[in-house]
């Protein structure tokens, strides 16, 4: 199927919640009134599609990214995460190595401080990169001002996340 073909997204409007529990978990059951909305996926870049919720007449914005753009963004997040992890590994190795060699690097020294900064930056890059990689989705629901709202949800239409092809 060509990626720019028209497909459908299912929008859910929250109609009620009730507590739910099982033997080993408890949580909340949410019920949605669903409506299907056709949209077109761009071949490149992204665009915004307007959806109207039939349950409450709210106008919602759906951002649709092309698969190519979505893949590119995921790849960048993954590269950032990889660089961050390497930085963490290298700083830890230098730190441990100097400990074992009997000449620990004192933290207040310029070298110690830059190692610490590099370690923290690496950890942050790894965290942000992995988070971004996991959460990048070609479809995202927006209202006019905020990202999504608590009454509406995309119930289907997003691609399954394929971890083997970033």
Any contact of residue 36 with Zn ion (CB under 5 A)? no
Any contact of residue 49 with Zn ion (CB under 5 A)? no
The DSSP H or E segment spanning 93 is: helix 67-100
* Closest residue by beta carbon to Zn ion: 53
Three-state DSSP at 35 gives strand
Any contact of residue 55 with Zn ion (CB under 5 A)? yes
Candidate ranges 42-50, 54-62, 87-95, 104-112; the one touching Zn ion (CB under 5 A): 54-62
Instruction: Identify which of residues 55 and 78 has a Cβ nearer to Zn ion in the complex.
Output: 55
Candidate ranges 49-57, 85-93, 97-105, 127-135; the one touching Zn ion (CB under 5 A): 49-57
Smallest separation, CB 57 to Zn ion (Å): 7
Cβ neighbours of residue 59 closer than 8 Å, sequence gap 6 or more: 50, 51, 52, 53, 144
What are the strands of the beta sheet with 6-21, ordered from one edge? 26-40, 6-21, 152-156
Any contact of residue 13 with Zn ion (CB under 5 A)? yes
Any contact of residue 53 with Zn ion (CB under 5 A)? yes
List interacting residues with Zn ion (CB under 5 A): 13, 53, 55-56, 58
């Amino acid at each position: 199927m060509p990626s720019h073909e028209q497909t459908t997204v299912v929008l859910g409007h929250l109609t009620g919640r009730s507590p739910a529990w099982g033997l080993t978990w408890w949580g909340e059951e949410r019920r949605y009134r669903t409506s299907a909305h056709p949209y077109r996926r761009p071949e490149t870049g992204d665009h915004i599609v307007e959806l109207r919720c039939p349950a409450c007449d709210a106008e919602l914005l759906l951002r649709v990214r092309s698969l190519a753009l979505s893949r590119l963004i995921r790849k960048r997040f993954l590269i950032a995460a990889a660089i961050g992890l390497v930085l963490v590994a290298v700083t830890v190795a230098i730190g441990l190595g100097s400990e074992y060699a009997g000449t620990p690097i004192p933290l207040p020294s310029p070298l110690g401080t830059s190692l610490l900064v590099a370690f923290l930056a690496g950890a942050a890059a790894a965290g942000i990169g992995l988070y971004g990689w996991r959460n990048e989705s070609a479809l995202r629901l927006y209202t006019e001002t905020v990202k999504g709202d608590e009454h509406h949800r995309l119930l289907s239409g997003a691609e399954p996340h394929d971890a083997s092809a970033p």
